[in-house]
A and B are shown apart, each in its own frame.
Chain A
């Protein structure tokens, strides 16, 4: 499938040996994997891949093949993902405001030890943590847990952990306060931690830690 053909290539790209006709074949899945890991919604991820290729076509002339084609395309995709988040944030500010806190109920409500762990509900011991890393089922569970988080939480969280965005960058991107980003990240982590504990480590979980 190369109806794009060699002669029509732009000068800069030609030098770099770039052929947009094979992009979808060569990089489609790679970009899709990147996108779907971050935005989760398959349809949006597909759109992002398409938008990325189109943007790449537009800036083909400026691509001189300094970076490998793969990295160049991935870079464009990351920018598009940023745009996507900005749009989502604009359209749906409320989505980030009202997220319930799964961990709230794990702390004592009042009395002298208010805000201390209720021992029954506190963090359980995780057996064979390191060994889990080698098991396929562990990663499947983790993926499931990610998809059970509220979409907004997991998207912000993955932006932080996978793309290494700092909280300041996320604040600017979503135009929310640093304080709020901190809360979102903490809730995402707390939700994931709990989910992993229940669904993976839960089988061997034991009670109180020895201080």
Chain B
């Protein structure tokens, strides 16, 4: 991942790099060496294990967020009338 500063040893990650990879792996597959370094780091670092778990949990939550939206999110009456008027007008003009 190019966000990481170049280090002497790509397999010896610091927590900061591991945190970036914990996010990156949710977006696209890591390269072989990234995965290796990341897993190696997770094996010795409880903080980053926890961090990666939490990011994964967060992703799950965010994806469920719309279906948990309260039903009361609605167009305001004003907006509804305005849009209705515009749509009807455009529709009539078309025909």
Contact = CB atoms under 8 A, between A and B. Distances in A.
Partners in one complex: yes
Interface of A: 1, 3-4, 8-10, 20-21, 23-25, 28-29, 32-34, 36-37, 46, 49-50, 53-54, 57, 60, 103, 107, 114-117, 119, 122-123, 125-126, 129, 133, 139, 142-143, 146, 157-158, 160-162, 166-167, 178-179, 182-183, 185-186, 189-190, 192-193, 196-197, 208-211
Given A53-B87, A57-B90, A167-B27, A142 B65 contact: yes
The interface residues of chain B, by DSSP majority, are classed as helix
Contact of B91 (A57, A160, A210): A57
Nearest to B83: A50
Contact of A24 (B3, B55, B83): B83
Nearest to A114: B14
A18 B17 CA distance: 53
Interface size range on B against A: 35 or more
A115 B14 contact: yes
A123 B50 contact: yes
A202 B25 CA distance: 26
B54 A107 contact: no
A33 B73 contact: yes
B27 A166 contact: yes
A36 B27 CA distance: 23
A102 B88 CA distance: 48
Contacts of A158: 62
Contacts of B64: 133
Contacts of B26: 185, 189
A78 to B, nearest CB: 13
Contacts of B45: 211
13 contacts: A10-B94, A36-B73, A37-B65, A46-B75, A49-B83, A50-B87, A57-B91, A122-B47, A139-B68, A189-B23, A189-B55, A189-B58, A211-B45
A4 B61 CA distance: 42
Nearest to B64: A133
